[in-house]
Amino acid sequence: MTVDNYLENLLPDQQLLLNTVRKAIKATCPDAKEIISYGMPGYKYLGYPLVYFAAYKNHCSLFGTGKKILADLKDELSQYKIVGSTLHFTTEKPLTSTLVKKLIKARMKENEEKKSISNKGGSK
């Protein structure tokens, strides 16, 4: 299965929501590798998971943003339901491209820091 296949099998409003998220991810992190994992679209950057997204009956979710990032952006995310490190959104309260880009930039920074630490550890 590909991300295109996943999206094709959704309801039109879910497709619209998740295509907006997908485009924002790809625009912000063009080097991210698009994958299907856990039965949902995901992205890896520098070998580490970046984010995943999925559609459900009553909402869509963005997974893997991390509790710290969600806490840092809590004011901007106040209209959304947050469960652990997962962000829920709907057609009534869609994620904007701007907000997705902020989340992705923060996750990219985390992955870059992990990669830097990993590289330093490997050079000993």
pLDDT of residue 18: 98
| Full pLDDT tens readout for the chain, 124 residues | 999 999 999 999 999 999 999 999 999 999 999 999 999 999 999 999 999 999 999 999 999 999 999 999 999 999 999 999 999 999 999 999 999 999 999 999 999 999 998 888 654 4
pLDDT of residue 92: 95
For residue 68, give the nearest of 39, 106, 30, 18 by alpha carbon: 106
Q: Which residues contact 91 (CB under 8 A, 6 or more apart)?
A: 13, 16, 17
Domain count across the chain: 1
In a domain, 120, yes or no: no
**In which domain, by residue range, is 46 found?**
3-110
DSSP secondary-structure letter at 47?
T
Scanning 1-124, the segments in alpha helix (DSSP H) are: 3-8, 12-28, 67-72, 97-122
Look up residue 54 and give its two tokens: 């999925």
CATH number at residue 78: 3.90.1150.200
Give the global pTM. Answer: 0.92
In a domain, 116, yes or no: no
Longest dimension (CA), the chain: 52
